[in-house]
Amino acid sequence: MAATGDPVLEVRDLVKHFPVTQGVLARRQVGAIRAVDGVSFDLRRGETLGIVGESGCGKSTLARLLMALERPTSGSVRVGGREITRAKGAELKQVRRNIQLVMQDPYTSLNPRMTVGDIVGEPYEIHQDVLPRGRRRRRVQELLEIVGLDPDHADRYPHQFSGGQRQRIGIARGLALRPEIIVCDEPVSALDVSIQAQVVNLLGRLQQEFGLSYIFIAHDLSVVRHISDRVGVMYLGKVVELGRDADIYGRPEHPYTRALLSAVPVPDPDGRERRERIILQGDPPSPADPPSGCRFRTRCWKARDVCAQQEPPLQVRPGASHESACHFPELYPVPRPY
């Protein structure tokens, strides 16, 4: 899954504020939910970027912004060098061919009134010029075969399939237009653990076969680790740490990342007691009224005055191996040779 070449997706200072309004006749804005607040990253060809964070940190809003399902308040998303956030009509349709979505819930993401063949073939109905009409049925069967389903089941309906099979149908739909990027918004969190691995492995195989790049959004750190080349950790609409998966999991610098990692359940009873367990106090603050300075400071055991006054930018700090947004990152004395 080695990432090569130039970025296929460039995200710069992406901001999405949802206005909070009051009043019946004259609606005035009384505030804003800062769902995504200044997110930047690149995604290279063939690379998988994992995005982790707890509920409400802006992961799904980020996915919707990348897919141009929401218009950002500011910032830019460039897909294959073309700006998607301000594209409209035919241009937007063109850019969308290159970035597709696999959704979380396989039970609600497939239209129950359409056959599987129609669902997987719909991309060709919308983008008529991709494939001549006569070859569509054959291609749909190929796609079903690729994701490990029986092509003869194309005339069945979604409710006749299991959750894992439905998620494969969703993946086949996402592959239809041969996009370079697939945004996976919690693609396995609605599935049984035994099925999760099958779907994750399928995604890995497809990546190698088609040279796909993934944005893999999840709250399950072990799943993300399995598939990702790089990982970004989000907290309250901001990326607080970004690095290669070995860095994030082996040398977490941001206190929030360390707390998250310490919460991963360990199946091996040996050594469970010796493990450092960081339990965060309280709930995440409201994204409508985030804390000043560092957003994590209200739950951070390292917080000092400077954390309330200055917002730490996401950058590689002296002695650190990767980017983090903390004034007092955890530093590891002997950097591992790569």
Q: How many CA atoms lie within 13 A of 24 on its CB side?
A: 0
Among 2, 28, 155, 305, binds another protein (CB under 8 A): 155
The binder of another protein chosen from 113, 133, 274, 275 (CB under 8 A): 113
**What is the rounded distance in angstroms from the CA atom of residue 77 to the CA atom of residue 20?**
25
Closest approach of Cβ 220 to another protein, in Å? 20
- Please state the closest distance from residue 88 (CB atom) to another protein, in A: 12
β-pairing, 315-316 vs 74-79, is unpaired
According to DSSP, the residues that pair with 319 across neighbouring strands are none
Q: Given candidates 9, 101, 221, 242, which one binds another protein under the rule CB under 8 A?
A: 101
Give the CA-trace dihedral at 166, 136, 118, 150, to 10 degrees.
Answer: -40
* Main-chain phi, psi angles of 329, to 5 degrees: -70, 150
* Stretch of 196-204, 221-229, 253-261, 266-274 contacting another protein, by CB under 8 A: 196-204
Identity of the residue, 202 or 233, whose beta carbon is nearer to another protein in the bound complex:
202
Q: Which of 51, 65, 79, 161 binds another protein (CB under 8 A)?
A: 161
Q: How many residues form the binding site for another protein (CB under 8 A)?
A: 49
Least Cβ distance, residue 151 to another protein (angstroms): 8
326 torsion bin: left (phi>0), alpha (psi -120 to 50), beta (else)? beta
DSSP secondary structure letter of residue 155: G
Q: Does 121 bind another protein (CB under 8 A)?
A: no
3-class SS of residue 40? strand
Q: Which positions from 207 to 246 touch another protein by CB under 8 A, shown as an x/- string?
A: ----------------------------------------
SS3 assignment, position 98: coil
d(CA 336, CA 331): 12
* Residues 70, 292: Cα–Cα separation, whole Å: 27
* 92 forms part of the interface with another protein (CB under 8 A): yes
Task: Give the interface segment with another protein, choosing from 23-31, 149-157, 220-228, 312-320 (CB under 8 A).
Answer: 149-157
State both tokens at 245.
């998966």
Question: How distant, in Å, are the alpha carbons of 43, 98, 140, 203, 237 from that of 206?
Answer: 17, 16, 16, 5, 30
- Residue among 75, 164, 187, 237 that touches another protein (CB under 8 A): 164
Nearest partner of 321 among 304, 334, 312, 308, judged by Cα:
334
Which residue's CB is nearer to another protein, number 152 or number 276? 152
157 binds another protein (CB under 8 A): yes
Task: Name which of 21 and 160 has its Cβ closer to another protein.
Answer: 160
Copy the structure tokens of residue 265.
């359940």
The residues binding another protein (CB under 8 A) are 67, 69, 92-93, 96-97, 100-101, 103-105, 108-115, 122-123, 125-127, 145, 148-150, 152-153, 155-157, 160-165, 168, 170, 173, 177, 194-195, 198, 201-202, 205
